[in-house]
Chains A and B, each alone.
Chain A
């Protein structure tokens, strides 16, 4: 089957839309469509001028930049300053643009005098003679992008927005015109530029650092869209009335709360897991799996039956037909009171299509996945993993990447009531673009659920900068107290680095620490092997053990087995290295 996504193949999309419409008509849920629409209206309220930017700055933790009543809070002020100091030029420009808008609005609205001037926040670059490590990196990146055609090479060390900017500049200068949606729909195999300090997957960092990641990613995503001149209309999430319990039409958070009380640690709704595993148990070779709908009349009663007997374990799974299960799965996604991709970012996901290159689309998706709340991110991951397993059987079930994407797109993007707001013309263009997003999400899932290195680098800079400030304070206090205590650990660091080894700790083992010689080839996995070859922990499974980087310029990071220890050691020389079970 041809890999291109032409209009002919969109037939399935419209068929799916028809099925959905029919299922709403026939199996229409108790509340009725009318109310759903009213709720949507509220969900999609587009904020006033300036309000959107205010919300954006608040989300990035930069409220202080426009609200001087908060300026008295020293901690927050310092935090903002530290955060800003880690931004690249393009990221800073994105922040600046929004601060300016908010200030203009504020001035117009209240005619207030004491709003901080944008020039005070973004002083002209003083330290240009002494570019930071990061800026050097971006310059390297620019050269790289210019010199070679690296469309399929993924550079994770340079901020995506900086890469996009130099791409744009080159293309303007060279007067190269590229259609916004190139006809070539072949998805390339993106090659990752090897990062010796290891890949950081979502979940590898501590919640504290993840908060910083989120702020940075928000700024970076906006900066990336800014380079393409795309204005993201953020939608504010308004609380909607929704069911407090049950399975269908229940908010993801409520559902998971309910599931976690039954099975602690649940990350993906049990009902969804169960539907997926039922479909798989019936065999993934079934032709037209996910595409062929179940019987709409049966779905309604099955739905009610699940609501009443799922948690009791009384639901007759053995009688559930595979296509009905697939329809229930799709219904479950559609019925979520908030879209799986969230009200806030749904339009940003769709706007990804407007980015000029596949690479930039992929990078934007990467950032958007990072911005999703954990529940949504984990649930989406479980879905795309399942879709991939379906696609793996395409020789038998004829469900190619395109087929699955086309069929699933309306279910993921057209949640309850959304369609009523969309004109026919909009819907037509949305069909191809949403299918494309689902395609990218499935195809590149392994790349998308990771934190790009430049973001981790910025988190490290943030941590170092705040530590430096804290240490300064502490030093002053220490001086005042005149405490002179000799700390042996102060000496240990330079000594160890000059000796060329690291000390690996494993508190739950009988061998609690081991000094390991740092060679060029030593990887995190080797360290684990060395430790485990000599010690057999009683209560822990070996697969659950990982080497962690703790302290120094990162709170905590679970290391990818292929991390080169020497390279990472140079990046974070005062870190501790600890073997422990994954949380």
Chain B
């Protein structure tokens, strides 16, 4: 593996049965899993090209069930970007995802972090209980991106993951810019991202 390779750890979180695995498998293997087998913790790897640059994604599909909550802290610590998934037809899952949001920021000890809020099951429009406006308002208040998706119809699936990759890149670029460099303005980081001390 070359040292140049870009590699990100993405974590898919959210309540039970909102479609985390369906989204992940649709993204990785391009098909919709209809079986309802609760995940404990699965991980995937995929190489994709975002904005012309190749990236290896390690994607962690997590348990929605509360029983496995003990594992949360650990994956939250290692994750570099999070997909917070709820189901548009499930109010409980929407509240839960807000708790996940708080927890990520607490574990990371930051005010903001690369996160995309995903309202899944957009195909079940008749059963929708969370309006786009409400979700969008929550996202905007917290400075995160919001998307609606359907794992079943493969709608906004790749887009959600790729959007997260772009956000992580921007975030990490900001991070690698040394605070001391403030007075020289934003560095055009075309060269080496290393910080020479």
A-side contacts of B74, CB under 8 Å: 488, 491
Report the minimal beta-carbon distance from A151 to chain B, rounded to whole angstroms: 46
Give the size of the chain A interface in residues (CB under 8 angstroms). Answer: 17
Q: Which listed segment binds A: B5-13, B40-48, B128-136?
A: B40-48
Instruction: Give residues in B with beta carbon < 8 Å to A.
Output: 25, 28-29, 33, 39-46, 58, 67-68, 70-71, 74
Q: Are A512 and B43 in contact (CB under 8 A)?
A: yes
Contact of B43 among A491, A495, A513, A517 (CB under 8 A): A513
Which residues of chain B have C-beta atoms less than 8 A from A511's C-beta? Answer: 28, 42-44
A523-543 near B? 1/0 per residue, CB < 8 Å: 000000000001110000000
Question: Is the beta-carbon distance between B44 and A515 smaller than 8 angstroms?
Answer: no
In terms of DSSP, what is the predominant structure of the interface of chain B? mixed
In the complex, what distance in Å separates the CA atom of A512 from the CA atom of B58? Answer: 9
Among A495, A503, A510, A515, which residue has its beta carbon within 8 angstroms of that of B28? A510
**Known A534-B25, A534-B33, A535-B29; contact A514-B71, beta-carbon cutoff 8 A:** no
Q: With the chains together, A535 CA to B31 CA distance in Å? A: 11
Does A516 reach chain B (CB closer than 8 Å)?
yes
Contacts of B71 in A (CB 8 A): 495, 499
The complex places the Cα of A535 from the Cα of B40 at a distance, in Å, of 17
Instruction: Choose among B39, B45, B70 the residue that contacts A512 (Cβ–Cβ < 8 A).
Output: B45
A501 within 8 A of B: yes
State whether A499 touches B70 (Cβ < 8 A).
yes
CB atoms of A517 and B40 under 8 A apart: yes
Shortest distance from the beta carbon of A490 to any chain B beta carbon, whole Å:
12
CA distance A382 to B101 in the complex (A): 62
Least Cβ distance of A532 to chain B in Å?
A: 12
Asked if residues B44 and A510 are in contact (CB atoms below 8 Å), the reply is yes
Q: Which residues of A contact B33 (CB under 8 A)?
A: 534
Listed in ascending order, the chain A residues whose CB lies under 8 Å from chain B are 488, 491, 495, 499, 501, 503, 510-517, 534-536
Asked if A516 meets B43 with Cβ closer than 8 Å, knowing A495-B70, A534-B25, the reply is no
Tell me whether A503 and B41 are in contact in the complex, defined as CB-CB below 8 angstroms, given that A510-B28, A510-B29, A510-B46 are known contacts. yes
Q: Closest Cβ of chain A: how far from B131's Cβ, in Å?
A: 34
Whole-angstrom CA separation of A488 from B44 in the bound complex: 20
Q: How far does the alpha carbon of A514 sit from the alpha carbon of B46 in the complex, in Å? A: 15
The smallest beta-carbon distance between A206 and chain B, in angstroms, is 26
Residues from chain A with a CB closer than 8 A to the CB of B70 are 495, 499
Known: A510-B45, A512-B45, A534-B33. A501 touches B28 (CB 8 A): no
Chain B residue contacts of A534, Cβ below 8 A: 25, 29, 33
7 A-B contacts (beta carbon < 8 Å): A495-B70, A510-B46, A511-B43, A513-B43, A514-B43, A515-B41, A516-B40
Chain A residues with CB below 8 A from B67, complex form: 499
Distance (Å) between the CB of A538 and the closest chain B CB?
12
By beta carbon, the residue of chain A nearest B39 is: A515
- A288–B88 Cα gap in the complex (Å)? 77
Q: Please report the C-alpha to C-alpha distance between residue A513 and residue B28 in the assembled complex, in whole angstroms.
A: 14
Contacts of A501 in B (CB 8 A): 40
B28: which A residues are within 8 A, CB to CB? 510-511
- Beyond A512-B44, A515-B41: 17 further Cβ-contacts under 8 Å? A488-B74, A499-B40, A499-B67, A499-B68, A503-B41, A510-B29, A510-B45, A510-B46, A511-B28, A511-B43, A511-B44, A512-B58, A513-B41, A513-B43, A515-B40, A534-B25, A535-B29
Complex CA–CA separation, A385 to B91 (angstroms): 64
| Residue numbers in A under 8 Å from B29 (CB-CB) | 510, 534-536
On chain A, the residues within 8 Å of B44 by CB distance are: 510-512
Of chain B, the residue at the smallest CB distance from A514 is: B42
Chain B residues near A514: list those with CB within 8 A.
Answer: 40-43
Output the nearest chain A residue to B44 by Cβ-Cβ distance: A511
CB distance from A432 to the nearest CB of B (A): 60
A536 to B29, CA, bound (A): 9
Chain A residues positioned under 8 Å from B45 (CB to CB): 510, 512
Contact assessment for B68 and A513 in the assembled complex, using a CB-CB cutoff below 8 Å: no
Q: Which residues of B contact A495 (CB under 8 A)?
A: 70-71
Which residues of A lie under 8 Å from residue B39 when comparing CB positions? 515
Measured in the bound complex, the distance between the Cα atoms of B40 and A488 in whole Å is: 18
A515-B67 Cα distance, complex, nearest whole Å:
14
Closest chain B residue to A517 by CB distance?
A: B40
